């Protein structure tokens, strides 16, 4: 079954709803994300990514169309929308700015507590989430405001993971972190997804990160979905990506330049390891070049 | 989200009143308010109503917009009208039933009071809120109050604080919405439960909001210091305010109007009721 499904969803923000300047943030979007994988969501600024993401957990309500999680229309009973917020955990951009509690553990427990969980289960959830997010145990009793930037980010991430969502949505989870921090946090998310079978949706501007961690990619442009394909196929179509102001990973650009110069390395290169293998293969067959 | 908020009520325009020196506009509104309070007779009120109508037309702002700005004050307007209607005593009873006595003076008085409030709102809207940007207002206020510097009142600092506060209102509204979204995504519920529960539900919003406000203040202070900001002493401005002849013309017209009202009160006191 599809973890996330959207059927002809359209949406416009308040002031842009009517009148001559009416502009849709989402325009007749239909998509289906299978359960269990990691899907990337890319698009230029203002293409509707953040709006789309807030549709999935019911922060925004579509003007037209339906949003389904595990085949259930989330707006069938508007009063029960909260249960879908627990089902689809959303980590917003720069989530460290939403920390508020006295200790990290209390902050992580905020979500599960809202679900009505009690003492022991709460404790277990906090520890489990902290482990997935890569937070050491001794940090749990500290004030969240004493943590470093990267640790704060992880604490905020743990706060959502602790709700054990079936779908985890992350808006730019690695923005503003150094390369090691990016690897840690994205690697942790990937491990979490594989171990728990959680469906993950990541919004990012970093094509390298997308290439490294995503199984398939949704490309948005001008409030519509341009394509939704496996990662290799998306990046092999670099002409179309460029036409909507998007880039491809550096190594794909190298491959593109090689192809232009008559070296047939193939259009499906998007990780360095794969490229190295391909080049070796080509050299082995053709030692003079 | 951001575009939903009309911050302040400034209406873009290029009318004579829009282009008046903001200092003159502040002084004019004060004088005009005094004139409204001086008016006691029906004739004086007719003059005020006509002049207000002329000002509204001059701004080119739709009268409907100005009426809309009275909505929040509707309750006060009705309340004062009712109080005057029932409690004003006079010589010409119109309606009597048990303890309720309504006099003709009461009716006229209630009408004039309502008119007075409406005129007050119209005047401040026309001269200040609708035609002057908040920034121009604080600038003008700083210059008007600058004589107080002699008394060691930190006028420049106050106006700088006001400018910064105004500048950050939209930013903070934006930020609040983001934090509300983030906590809602974690299942926070702000709409159910009693007063205490709802109050407690605000903690996860207020704490991050305060922290980010302090962080922003700190960053802004550093940025200002990096550009050698030291306060008002010897500071020049990019846009200096200069009053032109038309500002003075406008100013004297308002003074004349006020004088006219005093004269009308004395020489044509048709139905002088307001005390």
Which residue on chain B is closest to A111 by alpha carbon? Answer: B186
Indicate the number of domains in chain A. Answer: 2
Residues from chain B contacting residue A16 (CB–CB below 8 Å): 3
Residue A226's domain is classified under what CATH number? 3.40.50.300
Q: Which of B39, B12, B26 is nearest to B260 (CA)?
A: B39
- For A243-273, the pLDDT digits (tens) are 888 888 888 888 889 888 988 888 888 888 8
Model pLDDT, residue B205: 92
Residue A108 sits in the same domain as residue A75: yes
- The residue ranges of chain B whose pLDDT is under 50 are 1-7
Model pLDDT, residue A18: 64
Distance separating alpha carbons of residues A10 and B131, to the nearest angstrom: 38
Model pLDDT, residue B272: 62
At B43, list the tokens: 């004739």
Model pLDDT, residue A264: 83
Q: Indicate yes or no: CB of A98 within 8 angstroms of CB of B211.
A: no
Distance separating alpha carbons of residues B57 and B214, to the nearest angstrom: 44
User: Quick check: A222 pLDDT over 70?
Assistant: yes
Which residue on chain B is closest to A97 by alpha carbon? Answer: B208
Its ipTM equals 0.85
Model pLDDT, residue B271: 63
Q: In sequence order, what DSSP letters do the residues of chain A get, joined into one string?
A: -EEEEEEEEEE--GGGSSSTT---SEEEEEEEEETTSEEEEEE-TTSSHHHHHHHHTTSS--SEEEEEETTEETTSSGGGHHHHHHHEEEE-SSGGGG--SSSHHHHHHHHHHHTT--HHHHHHHHHHHHHHHT--GGGTTS-GGGS-HHHHHHHHHHHHHTT--SEEEEESTTTT--HHHHHHHHHHHHHHHHHHT-EEEEE-S-HHHHHHH-SEEEEEETTEEEEEEEHHHHHH-HHHHHHTT----HHHHHHHHHHHTT----TT--SHHHHHHHHHHHHHH-TT-
Model pLDDT, residue B32: 92
Model pLDDT, residue A88: 93
By the CB < 8 Å criterion, does B171 face chain A? no
- For A76-113, the pLDDT digits (tens) are 988 888 899 999 999 998 888 889 999 999 999 999 99
Query: Please, which residues have CB within 8 angstroms of residue B71's CB and are 6 or more apart in sequence?
Result: none
Interface test mutation site (partner B, options A100, A101, A126, A147, max chain B beta carbons within 10 A):
A100
Residue A113 sits in the same domain as residue A238: yes
Residue A199 sits in the same domain as residue A213: yes
Model pLDDT, residue A89: 93
Which residue on chain B is closest to A53 by alpha carbon? Answer: B185
Model pLDDT, residue B1: 36
User: Quick check: A14 pLDDT over 70?
Assistant: yes
Distance separating alpha carbons of residues A249 and B181, to the nearest angstrom: 32
Q: Indicate yes or no: CB of A82 within 8 angstroms of CB of B189.
A: yes
Distance separating alpha carbons of residues A32 and A66, to the nearest angstrom: 12
By the CB < 8 Å criterion, does A143 face chain B? no
Q: Indicate yes or no: CB of B185 within 8 angstroms of CB of A14.
A: no
Average per-residue pLDDT for chain A: 89
Residue A177 sits in the same domain as residue A287: no
Model pLDDT, residue A38: 94
Distance separating alpha carbons of residues B51 and B253, to the nearest angstrom: 11
pLDDT average, residue stretch A142-153: 90
Residue A226 confidence class, pLDDT cut points 50, 70, 90: very high
Model pLDDT, residue A289: 47
For A219, other C-beta atoms within 10 Å of its C-beta total: 22
Model pLDDT, residue B132: 86
Model pLDDT, residue B149: 82
Facing A59 at nearest CB: one of B3, B4, B181: B181
By the CB < 8 Å criterion, does A254 face chain B? no
Residues from chain B contacting residue A85 (CB–CB below 8 Å): 184-187
By the CB < 8 Å criterion, does A50 face chain B? no
Contact A177, A185 (CB under 8 A): yes
Residue matched to tokens 């006028």: B155
For residues B193 and A121, the model is more confident at A121
Interface test mutation site (partner B, options A13, A46, A57, A97, max chain B beta carbons within 10 A):
A97
Model pLDDT, residue B270: 66
SS (H, E, C) chain B: CHHHCCCCCCCCCCCHHHHCCHHHHHHHHHHHHHHHHHCCCHHHHHHHHHHHHHHHHHHCCCHHHHHHCCHHHHHHHHHHHHHHHHHCCCCCEEEEECCEEEEHHHHHHHHHHHHHHHHHHHHHHHHHHCCCCHHHHHHHHHHHHHHHHHHCCCHHHHHHHHHHHHHHHHHHHHHHHHHHHHHHHCCCCCCCCCHHHHHHHCHHHHHHHHHHHHHHHHHHHHHHHHCCCCCCCCCCCCCCCCCCHHHHHHHHHHHHHHHHHHHHHHHCCCCCCCC
Q: Where are the domains of chain B?
A: 14-134+241-267
Torsional sign, CA B177, B180, B185, B189: negative
By the CB < 8 Å criterion, does A85 face chain B? yes
Residue A107 sits in the same domain as residue A238: yes
Contact B123, B117 (CB under 8 A): no
By the CB < 8 Å criterion, does B27 face chain A? no
Residue A171 sits in the same domain as residue A93: yes
A60-86: b or e for each residue (b if 16 or more CB lie within 10 Å)?
bebeebebbbbeeebeeeeeebbebbb
By the CB < 8 Å criterion, does B185 face chain A? yes
Contacts 24+ apart (CB under 8 A), A243-251: A244/A43, A244/A44, A244/A47, A244/A219, A245/A44, A246/A42, A246/A43, A246/A44, A246/A207, A246/A219, A247/A207, A248/A207, A249/A207, A249/A208, A249/A210, A249/A211, A250/A208, A251/A211, A251/A275
Residues from chain A contacting residue B204 (CB–CB below 8 Å): 98, 100-101, 110
By the CB < 8 Å criterion, does A159 face chain B? yes
For residues B236 and A116, the model is more confident at A116
User: Quick check: A21 pLDDT over 90?
Assistant: no
By the CB < 8 Å criterion, does A111 face chain B? yes
Which residues form the domain of A226? 2-243
Distance separating alpha carbons of residues B134 and A169, to the nearest angstrom: 40
For B156, other C-beta atoms within 10 Å of its C-beta total: 16
Q: Indicate yes or no: CB of A114 within 8 angstroms of CB of B189.
A: yes
At A167, list the tokens: 């779908």
Model pLDDT, residue B6: 45
Q: Smallest CA–CA separation between B7 and chain A, in Å?
A: 14
Interface test mutation site (partner A, options B187, B202, B208, max chain A beta carbons within 10 A):
B187
């Amino acid at each position: 079954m599809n973890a996330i499904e959207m059927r002809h969803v359209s949406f416009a923000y308040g002031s842009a709803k009517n009148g001559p300047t009416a502009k849709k943030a989402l325009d007749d979007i239909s998509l289906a994300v299978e359960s269990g994988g990691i899907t990337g969501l890319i698009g230029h600024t203002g293409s509707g990514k953040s709006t789309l993401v807030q549709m999935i957990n019911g922060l925004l309500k579509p003007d037209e169309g339906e949003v389904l999680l595990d085949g259930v229309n989330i707006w069938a009973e508007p009063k029960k929308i909260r249960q879908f917020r627990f089902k689809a955990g959303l980590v917003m951009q720069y989530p460290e700015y939403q920390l508020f509690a006295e200790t990290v553990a209390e902050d992580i427990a905020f979500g599960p507590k809202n679900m009505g969980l009690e003492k022991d289960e709460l404790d277990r959830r906090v520890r489990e989430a902290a482990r997935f997010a890569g937070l050491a145990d001794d940090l749990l009793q500290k004030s969240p405001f004493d943590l470093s930037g990267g640790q704060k980010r992880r604490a905020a991430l743990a706060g959502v993971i602790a709700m054990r969502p079936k779908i985890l949505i992350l808006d730019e989870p690695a923005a503003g972190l150094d390369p090691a921090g990016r690897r840690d946090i994205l690697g942790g998310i990937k491990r979490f997804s594989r171990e728990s079978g959680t469906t993950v949706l990541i919004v990012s501007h970093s094509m390298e990160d997308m290439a490294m961690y995503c199984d398939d990619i949704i490309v948005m442009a001008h409030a519509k979905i341009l394509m939704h394909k496996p990662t290799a196929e998306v990046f092999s179509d670099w002409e179309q990506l460029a036409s909507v102001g998007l880039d491809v990973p550096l190594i794909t650009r190298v491959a593109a330049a090689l192809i232009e110069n008559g070296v047939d390395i193939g259009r499906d290169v998007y990780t360095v390891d794969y490229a190295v293998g391909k080049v070796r293969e080509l050299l082995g067959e053709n030692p003079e070049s | 989200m951001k575009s939903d908020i009309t911050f302040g009520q400034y209406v873009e325009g290029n009318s004579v009143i829009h282009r008046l020196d903001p200092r003159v506009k502040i002084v004019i509104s004060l004088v005009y308010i005094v004139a409204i309070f001086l008016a006691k007779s029906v004739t004086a009120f007719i003059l005020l109503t006509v002049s207000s109508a002329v000002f509204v037309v001059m701004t080119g702002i739709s009268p409907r917009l100005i009426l809309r700005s009275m909505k929040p004050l509707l309750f006060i307007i009705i309340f004062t009208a009712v109080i005057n209607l029932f409690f004003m005593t006079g010589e010409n009873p119109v309606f009597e039933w048990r303890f309720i006595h309504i006099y003709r003076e009461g009716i006229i008085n209630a009408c004039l009071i309502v008119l007075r409030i409406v005129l007050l709102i119209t005047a401040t809207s026309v001269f200040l809120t609708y035609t002057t940007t908040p920034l121009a207002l604080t600038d003008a206020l700083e210059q008007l109050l600058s004589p107080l510097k002699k008394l060691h009142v930190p006028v420049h600092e106050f106006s700088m604080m006001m400018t910064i506060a105004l500048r950050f209102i939209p930013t903070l509204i934006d930020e609040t919405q983001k934090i509300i979204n983030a906590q809602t995504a974690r299942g926070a519920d702000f709409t159910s439960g009693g007063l205490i529960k709802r109050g407690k539900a605000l903690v996860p919003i207020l704490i991050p909001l305060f922290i980010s406000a302090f962080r922003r203040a700190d960053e802004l202070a550093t940025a200002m210091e990096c550009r050698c900001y030291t306060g008002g002493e010897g500071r020049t401005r990019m846009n200096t305010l200069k009053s032109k002849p038309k500002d003075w013309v406008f100013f004297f017209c308002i003074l004349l109007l006020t004088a006219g009202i005093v004269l009308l009160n004395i020489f044509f006191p048709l139905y002088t009721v307001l005390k």
